[in-house]
Every structure is written in structure tokens, then in C-alpha cells.
Homo-oligomer: A and B are copies of this chain.
């Protein structure tokens, strides 16, 4: 009896065309991170449950894949790359030079409900600067976010920025500090549930006056600078926190990259560990997809594992959600999935010769495969076309005798009869490709 070859709900196979594109995007990101001086690290997919989820006998987070291994250890699959990074920093402090700029691109697992752009296995791309608490580092993460999207061919984005500290100052100023965490949780939902529902929830948490003040505070008004001036005023005047945002904005203007950045006081990011600047990134043509790159400043990240102060700032691209968005917006077409050349099989007796040609072509830097079996040429062309191979070479008896090849451009149907192999290579190389990251 056969076993059904199915995958788990929320998990996916990637067929070549999509996987080639995903890999190219990852390559572009890695290159961009490297260009900014960020270094890659790796951590295990599986960790001690306590290390990932903390102490305490509370109910296991339902979203986490946790189990006992064969040695009876409580283990769990990582659900993000941030917690393992905090653990990593604490474990290797003596071997690392601060500031430490790292990136990490890999899979994480969450057993959450599946929906558009949400899967149970997905790739995150994290980049962080640890060991600094200043505007230059905050700025660099934002700059790198913009540069990463540009490198991927995505320019129509909005990065929404806020500062947790200014919001806290404001809450203190209106005497609502005690409920800060609850307020942030409610405010965080505004994009989903709307202004009215947020006012209602805040009013029952505090009172109508405070609710209205908060709703006024979180409403952007005008330019970045105008909104900053407004929340500076509402939070009791200039402070270290407003100064920080002001300086980051100055850097943006100095570099001429300020467009695309918005100050949005409603952005709080649900997670408790943020202490300073926070941000989200929306595709302007697909805002309903949610944030595709979020993060912020956390100044006590590794405090669960070490007493050493490790301020940090970072961001994370949800690659699989982004891919879903790019697919919907036809932004993946720019990524080439093709190959340069195939040597077709005209007769089995020349297979050795075909392998020799292929080896010589590869030496020139082009990709080249041989068709391994004697099938109808029509079948071989269909294979080549399906695989998005650009050129074919046929080497029949005439070509063998004259030490030439016959080259064909599959898409233009152009033929180059009995030319030398170096000529063929030159023609293929001349075929300029306009796709991203050929």
C-alpha cells in the first residue's frame, strides 16, 4: 500500500522556479548586508525549551513546536531568530568584538493558524547591531532596510517609524503610565480594528478623556517633522527620546533618503522587549499584507542570560510573506530562473563529444548541460523550453566532421549553423540579460 506523499498544513515544498527566486532574493540580501559590514551567524534549529521560552511551569506556548527528545530533554524548534541571537550573544561575549553587526537568514517554525502570507515554516532575515545605543546605529538599520528593498527591486514601500520612549513619556504626562502595556497592545491593533474600536477599548481601560488624548497622539499629522513636533509637544517637550528621532531624521535628510520614511505614532510593535525606536514596513500597493520588515531598539535583549548590558537595534524581513506579496504584485518576474545552454542528443554515439563541449562551455563561465538520452528532438526542445534554457547546441555528423556546432536561440528561433564553439560562446555571452541578479 502506498503512502500519500503529502506535507503538513502550513508547510510547503518549493519547486525550482520559486526556489530559484527565493534563493536569489536571499543572495541579494546577503550581499547588501555584507556591504554594510554585517556578518552572518548560525544557531541550531532545535534548542533547550527553557532557553527559548524561559523558566516557569506555565502552559507551553501553543505556537511553539516543543517536545521531549530521545534523551528526555525538553527541547523546542526556534520560533524566531531573535531569542536564539540573544542566547548566542550571551554565550559568546568573550569571542565577539562589540559593536557586533550580524545577520541571520533561516527558517523558523510556529504552529499558528495559516492565512495569506502566513505559514508554519517560514524564513526570517534578521539584521542587528548590538553594543551601541545611539542615533547612528538606529539610522543605519533604517538605511539598510531601505537599501535591502531597493536591491530586491522593491521601491514603493513606506517605513513607518515611532519611538516607544516618546509614547511612554506621553503616557506619563497624561497620568496613564500604569496601563502602558495594555494601552500599547490596544493601539497596536488600530490598523486592524479601526480608530473607533480603539477609542472604545481605551476608554474602558482608562476614561474617555485619556482615550481621546491617546487617539489624538497616535494620529500622524503632516510631514515627519510636523508629526515629531506635535508628539514632542504632547509628551511634555523636547527629551532624549525626541532628540534621538530628530537626529535620525537629520541623518536621513543629509543623505537624501528621507522619502519613504513616515513618523507614525500609532506604531508600537506588540512585543515587550522594545525600548526605543520601532518600525514597520508596508508595500504601498498591498498594505493589507501587513508589515514585511519590522523591528526596533531593545536595550535589555540578553538580560535573561547575562548581567552584561547589551543594547541593540535590529530589524527582520519576513521573507515568505514578502514573497507572497511580490508574487501578487508581479515583482518576481524580474528574477531570472533560466540556464544558458544545453547540448542536445543527436545520436548516442556522440555523448562523449557532447560532454566535452559542455565541459569547455562551463570553463568559459556559462551554465551548460547535456541531454542524456536519444529522444525525438521535439521532446528535447520541449524539455529545454520548459526549463527556460536560452540556447541549444546540436552536434550532428556534419558538425562533428567540421569541428563546429549549430547553435539555436530558443526564444528568437535564430539559428547559427556550423560555427566554431568559441563563436557560439561569444554569441551566448552577447545575449544580454536584463533580469535581476542573472
Contact = CB atoms under 8 A, between A and B. Distances in A.
A369 interface: yes
A13 B104 CA distance: 12
A41 B95 CA distance: 36
A412 interface: no
A307 B41 CA distance: 43
Nearest to A95: B15
Interface stretch (A62-70, A158-166, A209-217, A269-277): A62-70
Given A46-B65, A55-B1, A109-B45, A97 B370 contact: no
A42 B109 CA distance: 15
Interface string A28-55: 0010001111011111111110110011
Nearest to A12: B44
Contact of A305 (B5, B73, B92, B95): B5
B16 A351 contact: no
Contact of A387 (B5, B68, B97, B389): B97
Interface stretch (A128-136, A180-188, A234-242, A398-406): A128-136
Interface stretch (A189-197, A249-257, A258-266, A428-436): A249-257
A102 interface: yes
Interface string A329-345: 00000000001001000
A233 interface: no
Contacts of A27: 27
Interface residues of A, number: 102
Given A62-B70, A369-B101, A386-B97, A54 B136 contact: no
B372 A69 contact: no
Interface in A115-151: 121, 129, 132, 134, 136-137, 139-140, 143, 147
Interface stretch (A83-91, A170-178, A198-206, A224-232): A83-91
Contact of A8 (B68, B73, B96, B134): B73
A97 B383 contact: yes
A367 B35 CA distance: 4
A421 interface: no
Contacts of A351: 136, 251
A4 interface: yes
Contacts of A46: 8, 11, 65, 77, 109, 121
B370 A136 contact: yes
A299 to B, nearest CB: 15
Contacts of A87: 5
A37 B369 CA distance: 5
Interface of A is mostly: mixed
A409 interface: no
Given A254-B355, A359-B255, A92 B48 contact: no
Given A42-B14, A255-B359, A304 B368 contact: no
Given A45-B121, A46-B121, A37 B304 contact: no
Contacts of A3: 50-51, 54-55, 304-305
Given A13-B44, A67-B67, A147-B362, 14 more contacts: A2-B307, A4-B305, A5-B91, A5-B302, A13-B91, A16-B41, A45-B45, A65-B70, A70-B111, A71-B111, A97-B382, A99-B373, A251-B352, A254-B356
A306 interface: yes
Contact of A90 (B5, B97, B366): B5
A381 to B, nearest CB: 12
A35 B362 contact: yes
18 contacts: A2-B305, A3-B54, A3-B305, A6-B48, A8-B48, A8-B75, A13-B42, A15-B96, A20-B39, A35-B367, A37-B339, A39-B387, A46-B109, A65-B70, A69-B111, A97-B386, A99-B383, A251-B355
